[in-house]
Amino acid sequence: MRFFGSTRALSVLPLLASWLFPSTSAIDLDPTQPDQVRIAAKNVAQVLMSMYADPQTGAPISGIPGLLQYPPYYWWEAGAMFGQLIDYWYYTGDSQWNDMVRAGIVHQIGENRNFMPANQSKDEGNDDQLFWAFTVMSAAEYNFPNPPDNVPGWLALAQSIFNQLNTRWETATCGGGTRWQIYQWLPGYDYKNLASNGGFFQLSARLALYTGNDTYAQKALEIYDWLANISPLISDDYHVYDGSDAKKNCSDADHSQWTYNYGIMIGGAAYMYNYTNGDPIWRERLSGFINQTGYFFPESYGSVMLDACEIPQKCNIDQVSFKGYLARWFAIAAQLAPFTAPQIIPHLRISGKAAAQTCVASDGVPVPYKCGNRWYWQGYDGNSGVGQQLSALSVISANLVTVAEPPKNVHTGGDSQGDPSLGTGGAKEFPEFQFPDVTTADKVAASVVTAVVVSCMMGGGWWIVHGES
């Protein structure tokens, strides 16, 4: 993932709605009606698929299965998109894109079957890889059609990423944690971020619940303990912050708050709550995180979900997808920790309806049901793309959680093929790093960028996204 800017307080009043695109042809969704939700989700998913592949031929627009067109879309977002499409199938039962989704994921497993494809070696961070892990984990939990026989099972692929992250746990700085970047020459290597560590926590929790193997739960506990008690990333009152500078031994945090970081923690805590059969400590943590998400549902914006960067329209290509992950793991929490449902379902309803009305069918919009970025806006705000579409699909379809089966595990019919030792080869399983376009000067430049970026993050100011790395 790219660098994230800081956020401002959400005290500004909403701008008056622009009537540039009248909303008369928008999706008018009653989120309590499953049939309406299914139809809305299908229309929105169709547009998302059309951003990945030619609707006529099914050929990926990027020319490579499993990749979105780069620029602007990075590798991780394709992984996130396939996860959303698996959720879409699971919530609606519509399997029309399953073969394409499966083929895309399988292609990106890469040469060593560890989600470290050589083509991405110049760029890949731990959080990027984890978003693919979430996708294969969902595939296992929902009994998504298995990969071909010559490929490890969905569960085994998730275990591989768990094992890789395990080798990247680093106690020399900050008393633990994994770094954002896998490769030390990439900008951001000195940043220990929530998405990588919280993502590792969530993956461990999911593996614990799915396999029943307590080793994973112990790891989840260890990571949680570091996040909450050693690093500054989670405060005592359950604020979730973006990251911390390992060069300063994580003595301070970038206090930006993002929907997806909360989503990651809420998801992980919900899996642990369920795995421990309702341990009060996980109940407390889960409820603590959920309570803090009020920040993203300001009453002055109709209690509709937003990330702060939307207000000045400064979100980058990654950030516009973030709301989708909070919606996704809200739904999971409502299932695995039913006590949270009364707090969560109203959020999903209000934001699902609001998101749907940004997806318009005509009025000069070339693609019907393309959704906007700001759900508090009246109608389509003219700001569309994969992230916006993915987010809208997520929050709309999450409303089907009230009628969906819970995710499966080994005790309830989950039968994905595992391999607890996959991915334990460490660095020798890494692809050969391609140096031709990285000179020593570039590497020096990269570390300068890192220093600048990290100091800007610590300063909490707005800063421009360095999109290329």
Ligand X SMILES: *[C@@H]1O[C@H](CO)[C@@H](O)[C@H](O)[C@H]1NC(C)=O
Q: Which residues bind ligand X (CB under 6 A)?
A: 64, 67, 107-108, 110, 117, 119, 174-175, 213, 215, 230, 249, 274, 277-278, 284, 287-288, 291, 335-338, 406, 420
DSSP 193-208: EHHHHHHHHHHHHHHH
Q: By three-state DSSP, how is residue 254 classified?
A: strand
Q: Residue 364: what residue type?
A: G
Q: Rounded to whole angstroms, how far apart are CA atoms 390 and 388?
A: 6
Minimum CB distance to ligand X, residue 460 (Å): 21
CB of 174 or CB of 304, closer to ligand X:
174
Instruction: Classify strands 191-193 and 243-245 as parallel, antiparallel or unpaired.
Output: antiparallel
- Shortest approach of ligand X to residue 374 CB, angstroms? 27
Q: How far is the CB of 110 from ligand X (least distance, A)?
A: 5
C-alpha span between 414 and 155 (Å, rounded): 10
CB of 183 to ligand X, least distance (A): 18
Say how far residue 196 (Cα) sits from the centre of its chain: 11
Nearest residue to 211 via CA among 223, 203, 222: 203
Counting every residue written for the chain, the total comes to 469
User: What residue is closest to ligand X based on CB?
Assistant: 175
Instruction: Give the number of other Cβ atoms within 10 Å of residue 426's Cβ.
Output: 12
For ligand X, give the closer residue by CB, 382 or 406: 406
How many CA within 13 A on the CB side of residue 248?
Answer: 16
Q: Which is nearer to ligand X, 111 or 442 (CB)?
A: 111
420 or 425: whose CB is closer to ligand X?
A: 420
Q: Dihedral, CA atoms, 32, 33, 38, 43, nearest 10 degrees?
A: -90
Structure tokens, 207:
């593996």
CB closer to ligand X, 3 vs 74:
74
Burial of 16 (0-12, 13-18, 19+ CB in 10 A): exposed
Measured from the CB atom, the residue of 433 and 462 that comes closer to ligand X is 433
CB neighbourhood size of 57 (10 A): 7
**Strand residue runs (E) in 112-242:** 191-193
At which residue do the structure tokens 């039962």 appear? 93
Provide the minimum distance between the beta carbon of 394 and ligand X in the complex, in angstroms, as a whole number: 19
Output the smallest distance, CB 398 to ligand X, in A: 15
Measured from the CB of residue 263, what is the shortest distance to ligand X in angstroms?
17
Shortest gap between Cβ of 451 and ligand X (angstroms)? 19
Closer to ligand X by Cβ: residue 199 or 288: 288
Q: By C-beta, is 45 or 337 nearer to ligand X?
A: 337
